[in-house]
Structure 1
Amino acid sequence: MHIPARKHRLTLLALVLSGTVGCDQVTKQLAVSGLRGEPGTSFLGGLFRLDYYENPGAFLSLFGGLSRPAQFWLLTAGVGVFLLGMLVYLVANRRLSLFHSGALALLVGGGLSNWIDRVVNDGRVVDFMILGIGRVRTGVFNVADVAIMLGVGLALLAAHRERTQDDSGGGAQA
């Protein structure tokens, strides 16, 4: 396994984190200013829809029915501690490949941006995108959610690649 230089990893982390948080926050501000109070808009024959929502829960409104104090402790305080731990792990773990570091940075960046929403938006996260065909639809999501899901998928792929390379005797890795 190729272990990247610390400065390359930290540069990648800074770029992915700032890019993820920046893109998500900009699109959320556009959603607030252009979609709040307006009827939803469909594109591509209904495949893609923009509609404004504020989600007090997590993924697919999970934990949205909890009391406000429970939501705070779980989704704001708990997630904040988890994200801080992940960030420390990313910065301190010098054995992570660039690919694995980038994947985890996407996850942390998306989580951080949604966490920022919770802190400044009274515990709610702005969601505004929906995908679907006919009656089959996703839940409402945002750019941070896409980054989180992409980060999870890429982290699983990175772990699989690293395990496969370790089993086969090694080799260079991105």
Structure 2
Amino acid sequence: MAQVRIEPWHEDDLDLLRQLNTPETRQHTGGPETDEQVLARHDKYVHFADTGQGCMFALVLPDGARVGSVGYWAREWREQSVYELGWAVLPAYRGQGLASGAVRAAIDVARARRTHRYAHAYPSVDNPASNAVCRKVGFTLLGETGFEYPPGRMMRVNDWQFDLTAPPAEG
């Protein structure tokens, strides 16, 4: 498994976001966005940590290559305040455990905030790779549900939950 670290998203990550905005990478999240939408998302990511509602990170390899994104943000889910987690990895870097390592690191950051008990991830039922990440990281599958993403588009997802108050897993 390759080593990965996460770093808060910054101005220089616009190119990474554009690289992640492909039909292949966004096939389970509504497809590619327009350049205007990408620029707006980038600006949101750059300033997100300042809001106190969550944080977006770039996945960084030991050689400095920026190969994906991961983040968490506050949301209301079934009358409960939780964090939602999301991630993406560039196609050339998939299958190396990078997403799992990055999700674990983002969970550690969210856990340290001591704001919400649970984090959730909502991968499409048709996204075996992201569902495998949830399983590998230690989320609990609560079942299938409808989920609106992007706004105006309903999709079938698996609702995965992670208890942020549980002790961190060893290794």
Which of structures 1 and 2 has the larger relative contact order (alpha carbons within 8 angstroms, sep 6+)?
1
Structure 1-normalised TM-score?
Answer: 0.27
TM-score, normalization by structure 2: 0.28
Higher strand share: 2
Higher helix share: 1
Q: Over alpha carbons, which structure has the higher Rg?
A: 1
